[in-house]
Amino acid sequence: MPYFVYKVFAFHRLECVSRFDGFREASACAKALRAEGLLEPGCQVRVMFAEDTFAAELLLTEVREARPHIAEDD
């Protein structure tokens, strides 16, 4: 399965930047995008491992429950 690099904006707006066969290349691309400093405020760069762009976008927009917070963990 390929790795996809996405720009994630507010309100689940997604922009697929690129597709890679290996994680190292995808991670390097994501790090380069973050380092450029040209991202809009609130924009995140995410690497997603998925079968295709549809599956990647479903995973990126999935609402996940917050992890339980334990006071002793602070």
pLDDT bin (cut points 50, 70, 90) of residue 54 is: very high
pTM: 0.81
Long-range contacts of 27-34 (CB under 8 A, 24+ apart): 29/5, 30/5, 33/5, 33/7
- Between residues 55 and 73, which one has the greater pLDDT? 55
Residues of the chain with pLDDT > 90, as a percent, come to 68
Q: How many CB atoms lie within 10 A of CB 45?
A: 18
State residue 38's pLDDT score: 85
| Rounded mean pLDDT, 55-61 | 93
On the question of pLDDT at 69 being above 80, the answer is no
Q: Which residues pair with 68 in a beta bridge?
A: none
- The percent of the chain in helix, strand and coil, each rounded to the nearest 5, is 40, 25, 35
| Rounded mean pLDDT, 54-61 | 93
